[in-house]
Amino acid sequence: MTASPLAPCVDHLVVLAADLASGVAWCERTLGITPTAGGEHPLMGTHNRIFNVSGPTHPRAYLEIIAINKGAAPAIPESASRWFDMDDAALRQQVAQHGPQLIHWVASVPDVAERCAALVARDIERGAIVTASRPTPNGLLQWQITVRDDGLRLMDGCLPTLIQWGDVHPCSSLPASGVQLQQLALQHPQAATLQAACEAVGVANSVAITPGNTPRLTAQLSTPRGPVTLSSFTPQE
């Protein structure tokens, strides 16, 4: 019997690091765990480490620490940019100066083409739907993901990238890490637009959306070191 598709939900948080070594060190220092799983993305010339943050509030979620793989050139056209604004000079400088940072989130949907069409109807172009895969010791990971040629996250990272997984999800083989996502909050000057977009995707009830002058993602996590808050906002020193 084929399982019914899961409802739209928070799939994973995206933390950008200048390189994976600094990302792992940040994770150990901030969250009290060492991420071990991960892989390479030949299409984008990036690689990552991931770990499970599933819990009662978000039952199938993980955190991704991602960095440019300096030993691999991306397979995308020269006119295109890497996903998640990873080629944005200002963002890269901010990470270089302040360290790894929460920059984005990805929403899992059972029908990515339909959800993209719903966004287009609201004049939001989430990007082309790209098919990708990655072999793992526990089976082949296959997914479809929205990627814009310009690499933009949209709405300062508050509007999620959309992903539709194949038969296997990363959390199926990720052990409990001791870290759980309790809440993901989104603050943005265009909160009403963001709310309508998240409703179109089907994830408005999975996140807290509030208006504010400064765009910001805030993730509340329980960790072996107690509650930890990750924020995309870095005060200027």
228-to-30, 116, 225 alpha-carbon distances in Å: 8, 33, 8
Model confidence pLDDT, tens digit, residues 118-141: 999 999 999 999 988 877 777 778
0.75 exceeded by the pTM? yes
Taking alpha carbons only, the member of 23, 49, 46, 54 closest to residue 36 is: 49
Residue 2 CB contacts under 8 Å (≥ 6 apart), including other chains: none
Intervals of the chain under pLDDT 70? 1-5, 234-237
Cα distance between the two ends of the chain? 57
62, 165 Cβ separation under 8 angstroms = no
What's the pLDDT at 234? 54
